[in-house]
Structure 1
Amino acid sequence: MPTVKDIDARGTQHCETTALGVLLRHQGLDLSEPMLFGLGSGLSFVYWDSKHMDFPFLGGRVKPFDLTRNLATGLDLDLQVQETASPRKAWEHVAAPIDADRPVGLQLDSHYLDYFGSKVHFGGHVVAMYGYDDHDAHLVDTEQQGGAVSTSLTSLAQARAARGPMTAKHRSFTLTAPGELPFPQDRIVPAITACADAFLNPPIANLGHRGIAKTGKLVRTWLQRTDNPQRDLPQAALLMEKAGTGGALFRNLYRDFLAECGQLIDSSHLRTGHGLYTEAATLWTEAAALITKAGESGDAQYLAQAGTVMSDLSRIEREAMGALSRLRE
């Protein structure tokens, strides 16, 4: 029964940063979850809707796995990624590192995992795997899903082979830190300014501050967008607050990242950004509560209020990122 020795199986709030934390602690690099999220330039915004979707989706972070790539680049980590169409090869890709006493990250569809509370398809879910036996795989998932958990090898194979939005072909990955561990504080400013630049200059109107402004207009029509507002609106709000976002659509995590950076860097721009993201985090939670009320009551005035809050959020976050982009000066 191969199991990686001395694994620190702490589940945190968000799936990708939870897995990254497990892999990096095993390398001797112990960073807080907000620091992992921020150094991976993880914050973003997307309004995603298409005719194939039952209801629009609001996302608060960069695309799945971009955070891992950003973090590896920023900290000079050796990121080895394996993808294959073959289930047999896919298994070899995870068994080999574990047999060599190294945890491995997996991207998969959470719907198939035995322990997962909500049976929703999400192909961008990330876990760390640290052991297996004849029947089960031993994983670390978020605190919400139970931290150190197990799922049958059959369910793991299904989750890894799934196809659909955000899925990857049996993706697995390992991280190796350089001989001398990096000083994360040297990497803070580039990570923040890269995140700010992407947010301030989105290529399409669904992303960044433009996406938030667009949502502020479209959210007002959400009662007409669904046959079942009692289900779909509270569900959308739940995804903003509880679905591994750390609350407030990842704004709580980014606020805490900026607070931690403020202990390492003395900058008025950083203090401004932190203050504005503290405000933004509160407003996102308020917007989610208004969307829930609209769904439960069927009253469009709550959506009008949510739209006004999001219009404010677009301005507040644009100002915050404007201040943070000046950190490089």
Structure 2
Amino acid sequence: MSEISFSHVQTAHCESGVISNLFRHYGLSISEPMAFGIGAGIFFGHLPFVKVNGVPGTTYRIWPGAIFQRVCERLGVKMQSQKFSSPEKAQQELDRVIAQGIPVGVLSSVYYLPYFPPSYRFHFNAHNLVIYGKNGENYRVSDPIMDTVTEIDPASLSEARFAKGFPEPKGKMYYPVTMPADISLQKPIKQGIEQACHYMLKIPVPMFGVKGMRFLAKRLKHYPEKVGDRRATLYLGNVIRMQEEIGTGGAGFRFMYAAFLQEAAGVLQQPELSKLSLELTGIGDLWRNFAFHAGRVCKSRAADNISYNELGDMLIQCAAAEEVFFKKLSKVQL
């Protein structure tokens, strides 16, 4: 088997991190924030009818896989992507490809990754990592949210690649087959910004973008009387968990998009993007403040905790700030 020399860099988020690490291996240097921005990863959605572990789903980024798809399309990268009907076929194909010295991105469930601390394992089936070789029977792993490379045994990897639940990974693996010799980031940056503004401001469905934040805020205000104190705590806890613990988290995605705008300002020679980068960093702080107070409510840490109604008002403040921000961003001459 070919020994693959793979440069591992720890990143904040698995999907944009795998993009950055895989592309750099092939000589296409792109930062994680740039991948996130070109892929229009920033988003918001609250889906009360889509239950995650029995509670309504909330997301602070675009759906899994979309960032990768958009970045590849906009940069002219052709990927080979496969899903499989059985763990055996998936392992055979993985072995065949890495034997050729090709690092492979795979989709997995966090729950079955033994190198994760137990407290971080939960049923999330859209985690991306890179397999870049073998050490005996074990696979060498570059997981972008880990500080160093690690290994995983074949049984655990199969479990992670074929976990049940929504969405089912079905052993998905992917790797570049055509990389452009030279790229210009200017058009992809513009396309990413335009798409992000559209998704945050103009989706007519009330559950998405800025409208989705206000939709959640109204529901959150009435959680205790609608679903009872216990379920209200569970529902609120999931909103915080998705914001602060899953992937980069909601505020973290705002900080990452701010870093993208700072980088884009230099590429496009557009100082207005630097100003907006600072503004978005401030909005990320608003989200962190909401999470802090919501966490105290969930844990009943203080007698003077704010109410669900006040938490809803904080969300409305976040929505108002993001609406102003994305309207300004949509009007920048790129």
Q: Same fold (TM over 0.5)?
A: yes
Q: Which has the larger displacement, 217-226 or 164-173?
A: 217-226
Q: CA deviation at 1:327?
A: 3.8
Q: Secondary structure at the match of 2:230?
A: coil
Query: 1:210-264: per-residue Cα shift (whole Å, max 9, x none)?
Result: 1111111122234464626667645542431232216615111111111111222
What residue is the counterpart of 1:274 in the other structure?
Answer: 277
Q: CA deviation at 1:190?
A: 1.1
Q: Secondary structure at the match of 1:56?
A: strand
1:240 to 1:90, Cα distance in 2 relative to 1, 3 A = same
Q: CA deviation at 1:146?
A: 4.0
Output aligned runs, 1:238-257, within 5 Å: 238-245=241-248, 248-257=251-260
Contact 1:59–1:249 (CA under 8 A) maintained in structure 2: no
In 2, the alpha carbon distance for the partners of 1:58 and 1:287 equals: 15
Query: 1:273-312: per-residue Cα shift (whole Å, max 9, x none)?
Result: 4243122111111111111011112877343232112112
In 2, the alpha carbon distance for the partners of 1:313 and 1:29 equals: 36
Contact 2:55–2:234 (CA under 8 A) maintained in structure 1: no
1:148 to 1:125, Cα distance in 2 relative to 1, 3 A = same
Contact 1:223–1:295 (CA under 8 A) maintained in structure 2: no
Instruction: Give the partner amino acid of 2:230.
Output: D
Instruction: Give the partner amino acid of 2:41.
Output: G
Q: CA deviation at 1:79?
A: 1.6
The one of 316, 319, 331 aligned to 1:326: 331
Instruction: Give the partner amino acid of 2:315.
Output: M
Query: 1:192-226: per-residue Cα shift (whole Å, max 9, x none)?
Result: 10121122122422111111111111222344646
Output aligned runs, 1:1-329, within 5 Å: 2-5=2-5, 7-50=6-49, 52=51, 53-117=53-117, 118-143=120-145, 145-223=146-224, 225=227, 227=230, 233-234=236-237, 236-245=239-248, 248-267=251-270, 270-271=273-274, 273-297=276-300, 301-327=306-332
Q: Which has the larger displacement, 63-72 or 209-218?
A: 209-218
Size of the aligned set, in residue pairs, is 327
In 1, the alpha carbon distance for the partners of 2:9 and 2:223 equals: 38
* TM norm structure 1: 0.90
Instruction: Give the partner amino acid of 1:221.
Output: H
* TM norm structure 2: 0.89
Percentage of pairs with the same residue: 25
Q: Which has the larger displacement, 300-309 or 20-29?
A: 300-309
Instruction: Give the partner amino acid of 1:265.
Output: L
In 2, the alpha carbon distance for the partners of 1:43 and 1:105 equals: 22
In 1, the alpha carbon distance for the partners of 2:310 and 2:144 equals: 32
Contact 2:161–2:171 (CA under 8 A) maintained in structure 1: yes
